Amino acid sequence: MENPALDRFEESQPRFATIKKNVEALLFASGSPLTVQTLASALSGSEPVAVATIEAALAELELEFPRGGDRGFELVRLAGGWALRTSPSCQVAVSALFELPDDVSRLSPAAVEVLAIIAYLQPASRRQIAEIRGVNSDSPVQKLLERELITEVGRAQSAGSAVLYGTTPRFEAMYGLADLDDLPGLEGFAVTEEQKDDLRRRLGLLGAPE
């Protein structure tokens, strides 16, 4: 016991390795993304495990199973948590044996449009969605509810108290988003001034250049 700090360090090394091994096992065993807090509480037995330790283990695992790496599975941040999943590059083989649950191709373009509006504006009412799209959107909203990509998140305060919709963790998982901040910025999709002028001209709202 000449150097207690070193002692503790050496003791802590196998402990970190054990924690990392267990984090790996938990991610493997869980069918859905796990939050750092869930991982920490599952690993806290007689002695609590710090969130920072879990994060350090995840950082190492992320290097071993990187997104888009050479392995058949990868570690990804998804829907506010962490998950191991098959590598998208193995899609053909995986779909030969298993059903890909979230086949995006089954979503109509209308449904994806509605989903984009809800994702960016949430909470959003059917009325708002219809106004933006210029067409009644009840049927795509219903489809998205059935697939649990959106959910009711409340009611408008105003008269009529319309139902307001927001996206679900399932939406984040389906689109590979760590969280909603992960969505590409909406400003990036705005029509440029040049395109606006072009549009105005085409609609005959600007005189021809003199």
Sign of CA dihedral 87, 89, 90, 96: positive
Task: Based on the shown chain and the rule CB under 8 A, indicate whether residue 38 belongs to the binding site for a second copy.
Answer: yes
Structure tokens at 83: 């998950």
Q: How far is the CB of 74 from other proteins (least distance, A)?
A: 8
Q: How far is the CB of 2 from other proteins (least distance, A)?
A: 41
Per CB under 8 A, contacts with a second copy among 87-126 are 87, 89-90, 92-94, 96-98, 100, 108-110
Within a 10 A sphere around the Cβ of 145, how many other Cβ atoms? 14
Residue 52 interacts with which of a second copy, other proteins, none, CB < 5 to 8 Å by class: none
Q: How far is the CB of 49 from other proteins (least distance, A)?
A: 19
Identify the residue whose tokens are 């991982």.
39
Within a 10 A sphere around the Cβ of 178, how many other Cβ atoms? 15
Dist. CA 104–CA 31, nearest whole Å = 20
Dist. CA 146–CA 133, nearest whole Å = 21
**Region near a second copy per CB under 8 A, out of 2-10, 40-48, 174-182, 187-195:** 40-48
Q: How far is the CB of 194 from a second copy (least distance, A)?
A: 28
Structure tokens at 62: 């992320």
Dist. CA 75–CA 64, nearest whole Å = 9
Q: How far is the CB of 95 from other proteins (least distance, A)?
A: 7
Per CB under 8 A, contacts with other proteins among 88-147 are 88-91, 94-95, 98-105, 107, 109-110, 112-113, 115-117, 119-120, 125, 127, 130-136, 139, 147
Task: Based on the shown chain and the rule CB under 8 A, indicate whether residue 155 belongs to the binding site for other proteins.
Answer: yes
Q: 119, 136 in Cβ contact below 8 A?
A: no
Query: Smallest Cα–Cα separation from 29: which of 37, 50, 21, 51?
Result: 21
Q: Which chain residues interact with a second copy by CB under 8 A?
A: 17, 20-30, 34, 38, 41-43, 45, 70-73, 84, 86-87, 89-90, 92-94, 96-98, 100, 108-110, 133-136, 139-140, 142, 145, 148, 151-155, 163
